Structure 1
Amino acid sequence: MSQTKYLENLLHTFGMNKCKPILTPMKKKLKFEKKGSTSKPYHKLMGCLMYVMIQTRPDLKTAVNYFNRHQSKATDDNFNHFKILLRYLKDTISFGMTYIKNNNIHPLQGFVDADFANDINDRKSTSGYLYQVFDFTVSWFTRKQSTIAFSSTEAEYLALASAIQEGMWLKGLLVEMRIITDKDYILLHEDNQSCIRIANEPKKHQRLNHLDTKYNFIHEAISTNQIKLAYV
């Protein structure tokens, strides 16, 4: 399932059909102007890319979310940063989603990650997760965290709490549809070993005293066998 024709028309509409392709959707540590305005169609491009992202392109989620934060203060320079994403689409124009049922895989699994203090304006981190049902990608999400994390482990822990919330909702839906049973657990893949260790510890870690509610939520989900964490 892809949107190749739509993307071809999109590149042509924004004069990028002959642009040089690139391998990544955005540059590292972009610095956006905070004041100014533009007559360029920033909002129109945002709407088009959000449509593509929601339908078939979860790989665009982080970049689109980042550029969406700057809609209210769009400038010519900010729009030029945004067009980098179109160069990435030029390189990946045929990308899409393939759905082939795989009964030999865990029925409900997710992948969660976070950067650390990557926004150079306020040093907040960004959470992201993706869920699959029998290897079908069904849910994906990314958002800047509402509070500043003091370490990469804390940023991952905040992302983990958000991912578990989504996983529990998905599980409830699948149980109601009789696709899985209430005894099935959610397998959640995490790439930070410190985060996994703290989440599995029966005693609260002092480093996370200020995240008391999230700690208890995560610990309850794990101790009741609703969630199992796996290092990836």
Structure 2
Amino acid sequence: MQQPEGFIVSEKEDYVCLLRKSLYGLKQSPRQWYKRFDSFMTSHDFKRSSLESCVYFKKSSDGSFVYLLLYFHDLLIAAKDKGEIRKVKAQLSEEFEMKDLGPTKKILGMEILRDRKTSKLYISQKGYIEKVLCRFNMQSAKPVSTPLAAHFRLSSALSPQSDDKIKYMSHVPYFSVVGSLMYAMVYSLPDLSYAVSAVSRYMANPGKEHWKAIQWILRYLRGTTDVYIQFARTKDGVIGYVDADFVGDLDRRRSLTGYVFTIRGCAISWKATLQTIVALSTTEAEYMAITEACKEAIWLKVLFSELNEDLQINIVFCDSQSAIFLTKDQMFHERTKHIDVWYYFVYDIIACGDIVVSKISTHENPADMMTNSLPITKFEHCLDLVGVHC
């Protein structure tokens, strides 16, 4: 490390300092902090999840579990017995300088509310969304009902071509807004998945029409700051919904995959992304979307089993009957031999019973909002199906 200002040794200005301890702010600091924390947790009989390296768990003497989640230097501890939580906090405070903020109310921009009488928990990002709207001067904008209207037909053809237009758009905070929207979408707003996926494709050279789409999304947030995800106790297990939009990308003619997984009726995992290859039919697009959803279902199943939550066979709902037949019957080989080999693992997954793919009506498939701009009535119904409420 270079000698710090004010502590430079005379006649040895070209010398550097040898670090004996990692300092905050250096590139290796997060790694060194994690190694120290991981070593402490494993020495106190906590196991690290093999799928999520920042999730730790330990079985108590009474058979219950204690869970600890780490995000850099923010911690969440969960257990049925408050005594176990106090015990873990006492052990941590002996090793690290820490501040106990009590029951969790806010973390990483997410506000956590509890209704113990009805056994419900709510996650909201109201405060974060309001800050984003103020930052980009949209706090007084007129609200709209959907994240992205159907009249937006975004493509690279709308990108500026002249130097003057490119210079004008360079002063527009396009990248900052997309990053802020993506942060909100990843944590608690699955309804933004399709819209954020659409506008993020033009980061290299955004045009005025792309910026109008961004402003539309902010107007949607202006009217939905009170939206929250609701967790409640029900008998439903993990259920997945998957959909595809054939040739949704107007530039490279690629289709869009969208899926959302719920546990007890509440969204826990969602994604909207372009497929890696061009599908030649709607059936192929849906088939490849099912494959992506099954990969996520397997990951969720292993994660929950590791955390001592035994899940039954996962169900993935799709609204394409032909794609479902394609996942079960290899007689379609002549029509699908051009599809990449790695998609065919879904045959084995379904054959061994790990995943069940079932038909669902398009009107009851919430993944539809991950791949299309929907009318307000259908959009609100999709939100209800995944536990997102106002």
> Is 1:148 equivalent to 2:278 in the alignment?
yes
> Is 1:225 equivalent to 2:353 in the alignment?
yes
Matches within 5 A, 1:24-173: 24-28=146-150, 29-32=153-156, 33-35=158-160, 36=166, 37-102=169-234, 104-105=235-236, 107-173=237-303
Paired letter, 1:9: K
1:81–1:167 Cα change, 3 Å: same
Paired letter, 1:81: A
CA distance in 1, matches of 2:256, 2:318: 15
What are the Cα deviations for residues 28-79 of structure 1, in whole angstroms up to 9, with x where unaligned?
3223433434211111111211111112101111211221121111234422
- Report the alpha carbon displacement of residue 91 of structure 1 after superposing the two structures with TM: 2.5
> CA RMSD of the aligned region, Å?
1.8
The count of aligned residue pairs is: 228
CA distance in 2, matches of 1:55, 1:172: 21
**Matched residue of 1:20: which SS?**
coil
Paired letter, 2:155: K
**Matched residue of 1:83: which SS?**
helix
* Greater RCO (Cα-Cα under 8 Å, separation 6 or more): 1
> Is 1:199 equivalent to 2:293 in the alignment?
no
- Report the alpha carbon displacement of residue 215 of structure 1 after superposing the two structures with TM: 5.1
Paired letter, 1:165: K
What are the Cα deviations for residues 153-187 of structure 1, in whole angstroms up to 9, with x where unaligned?
11111111111111111111111222015xx3110
Q: In the alignment, is the contact (CA less than 8 A) between 1:111 and 1:130 conserved in 2?
A: yes
CA distance in 2, matches of 1:222, 1:5: 43
Could you tell me which runs of 5 or more consecutive residues in structure 2 were left unpaired when the two chains were aligned: 1-122, 161-165, 361-390
- Report the alpha carbon displacement of residue 25 of structure 1 after superposing the two structures with TM: 1.4
- Report the alpha carbon displacement of residue 203 of structure 1 after superposing the two structures with TM: 3.1
- Report the alpha carbon displacement of residue 220 of structure 1 after superposing the two structures with TM: 0.6
Could you tell me which runs of 5 or more consecutive residues in structure 1 were left unpaired when the two chains were aligned: none
1:152–1:14 Cα change, 3 Å: same
Query: Residue 143 of structure 2 corresponds to which residue in structure 1?
Result: 21
Query: Residue 48 of structure 2 corresponds to which residue in structure 1?
Result: none
**Matched residue of 2:327: which SS?**
helix
CA distance in 2, matches of 1:82, 1:209: 40
CA distance in 2, matches of 1:27, 1:160: 26
Identity in percent = 31
CA distance in 1, matches of 2:332, 2:304: 31
Paired letter, 1:171: K
Structure richer in strand, relative to its length? 2
Paired letter, 1:30: L
TM-score by length of 1: 0.90
What are the Cα deviations for residues 192-229 of structure 1, in whole angstroms up to 9, with x where unaligned?
11111221225344221112524531111111001111
